[in-house]
A and B are shown apart, each in its own frame.
Chain A
């Protein structure tokens, strides 16, 4: 009984501690002690805390320490949570400018490009809330019609179909975004030089050399080897330790 009683209190205390740690880390950053700041942020992350601000700050710290690969990794992680943040976009762009690889993106099909843009337009949470709200509206209209609460039958009918359409659209967007987030695995090259091999073994021929900060798509994994695809469509095998999943 007592444990049940204390559990929320303990969680609350832990949260306060985490907030304090975050503050200390920010202080270190402000004083230019980037190594210490990074240690604090990492501790928070290891404790299981996540947030757009935390990832953004970690990206900043890595940038200041000159690790562009890790900076981009954490900016991308932050982008998953606070994708529309203006500061984040600016810093990510700056970090990308400092990467060595300039790989021409494969020109996407028009349809793909449209879908990509459309998915990028909303945040996952926004879409989730939108779906919920429009679904509630749809049900409300349906109930009103059943109960004959609405005088204007035509307006009720139009309202019902509009709500149905919006709900459907948002639900599909939500599904696409979730799929994008959960299943389309992407990674950032974190080792300063990465030799992409033709086969998943050390003796294999190096087909491409890329550098830290490059975003790649993960195709499949075989033990400690991961097959990645570059933005231009080239594929190669990399050691799991040389890249980090976003």
Chain B
């Protein structure tokens, strides 16, 4: 076919009207950036000279020419395209005046072209509003978002797909996404155009090649309206005027094959920013919830349930599931006293297979029991929020039972004092008292009447005893007084009797009477037991009472004489007897004058 066309070319009669037209690829150009100015010559390929009009503020950077020949219904149409790469130096509206083209010896004038030059930034803004694509029909990006309304922590997958139907190359990421307020898990796509597998897709009746250029999983970390920023690519595309006019011809295909017909153009491909509506997690949150969102299962294992004191045991808790596994906090383990717990070993593995972030987080505790006995370990729990069902779920491990053999072991690592305080602070209070000793409005003992009045009883008793004693003593004192008082008259009476006996010369009776009179008198006088008085007692009594010694002597003499005469009565001289009587009378009168008490 190619051959036929080539052979046919020279033989074909060229009977075609020649027309010349000028155009620019875009009417709005960015200042400083190159754009194409294309002159199309229809009907002939023999362009002899092109004379561009002088354009102020525009610079010519390059020139290229291409030729196309097409045969439609036996008619051959030829055309030549001359394109200039121009750069505008200042903004504003400007007109490229008519260009003079000499074709087959004839002079043709093109139409003038008007265009607007804008500043770079303004253009960008303009571009983003309009999608930013210079050739939206040829190349564009379509973002695919799994979900835009999310809970905090819920995963959403964002995929950027590049659609193209021009041969694009040199795809460069000019501006990457900047998701703020997100935890980003980038899905690794095998980059590099050649190896990226592509699919084809019909869109509005046009076939596109589709490439996945970026894929990521986003986890919002806070509530609110969050955006992920603009994604902008830059690529080179093979561009032909004809292509732009649509409708492919055989020749066009032919030219595309050789790569001579098209023209490489730099194209910006922009995906606008995506808005996400992030809502906070519902309240109330369960106890121990630490922000895990997704779908998880928990596995709890203990390597051995029977161990010797001092031997380590290992608790292993794994949380597996879909979600931001990095945000899952390690499982907390509470142990009873007597267990030494070390810092847990936390490991995580994250898989991003198939654009879903999943993985496992394991928390491993090495624990050393220090005391023997049977222990129950409280179950551990893990809470997470299931965004699909919109509810919290709490996973609880089974209760562990550990049997520790052996006596309490003391680890050398912990100093003794520390352990003691630990043991004490860790200990619990003692149990309540069950024996009630309730008292209804008790009065403190120092305020109670009973307490003070209890002292009164012995005091009263003492007073009673003392008073009785006083009375007794007083009574006794009264007897003495009476006897002393009675002593003298009684003695006088008895002395009279004695003197009568003396007159009758009854010696024996006289002495008896005299002795008795004397002893009784002294007894009465000093309030003693008169009958019991012996001579010696009498002497000591009188001495004690401080009676003058001569009286005492006399008194004793009388008693001696009385004894003597009583048992051996002799005819005594009456004078002697009279002397005895007088002595006795004298003693009595002498003692009577003494005060009774002393």
Residues of chain A whose beta carbon lies under 8 Å from any beta carbon of chain B: 11, 14-15, 18-19, 22-23, 26, 29-30, 44, 48-54, 56-57, 60-61, 63-64, 87, 90-91, 93-95, 97-98, 124-125, 128, 132, 135-136, 138-140, 142-143, 146-147, 174, 178, 181-182
Contact status A181-B446, CB under 8 Å: yes
- Measured in the bound complex, the distance between the Cα atoms of B86 and A50 in whole Å is 105
- Known A136-B458, A143-B462, A146-B469; judge A91-B430 contact (CB<8 A): yes
- The answer to whether B440 touches A53 (Cβ under 8 A) is no
Q: Are B433 and A15 neighbours in the complex by a CB distance under 8 Å?
A: no
User: Considering the chains assembled together, what is the distance between the CA atoms of A132 and B452 in angstroms?
Assistant: 9
Cβ proximity bits B447-462 to A, threshold 8 Å, 1 near / 0 not: 0000100110011011
Question: Once the chains are docked, how many angstroms separate the CA of A182 from the CA of B448?
Answer: 13
| Interface of A: prevailing SS | helix
Flag if A94 contacts B427 (CB, 8 Å).
yes
CA of A61 to CA of B428, assembled, Å: 12
Is there a chain A Cβ closer than 8 Å to B444's Cβ?
yes
Instruction: Find out whether the CB atom of B446 lies under 8 angstroms from the CB atom of A15.
Output: no
Which residues of A sit under 8 angstroms from B436, Cβ to Cβ?
Answer: 18-19, 22-23, 51, 53-54
B424 proximity list for chain A (CB < 8 A): 93-94, 97
Pick from B427, B434, B441, B465: contact of A143, CB below 8 A.
B465
**Are A15 and B437 interface neighbours, CB within 8 A?**
no
Q: Which residue of B lies closest to A174 (CB)?
A: B446
| CB nearest neighbor in A for B462 | A139
Q: How far is the CB of B461 from chain A (nearest CB, A)?
A: 7
Among candidates A14, A52, A124, A140, residue contacting B437 with C-beta atoms closer than 8 Å: A52
Listed by A's residue number, 26 A-B pairs whose Cβ atoms lie within 8 Å are A18-B438, A19-B436, A26-B432, A29-B432, A48-B440, A50-B441, A51-B436, A53-B432, A54-B436, A56-B433, A60-B429, A87-B433, A90-B429, A91-B430, A124-B444, A128-B445, A132-B454, A135-B458, A139-B458, A140-B458, A142-B462, A146-B462, A146-B465, A174-B446, A178-B446, A182-B446
Given contacts A19-B438, A64-B429, 14 further A-B contacts (CB under 8 A): A11-B440, A23-B436, A26-B432, A26-B434, A30-B432, A53-B435, A87-B431, A87-B433, A97-B424, A128-B446, A139-B458, A139-B461, A143-B462, A146-B469
In the complex, are the beta carbons of B438 and A15 less than 8 A apart? yes
B429 and A51: CB pair below 8 A?
A: no
A60 to B461, alpha carbons, bound, how many Å? 49
Residues of B within 8 A of A54 (CB): 436, 438
Query: How far in angstroms is the closest Cβ of chain B from A195?
Result: 27
A51-B437 contact given A60-B432, A91-B430, A146-B465, CB 8 Å threshold: yes
B466 at the binding interface (Cβ < 8 Å): yes
B460 to chain A, nearest CB (A): 10
Does B439 belong to the interface (CB within 8 Å)? yes
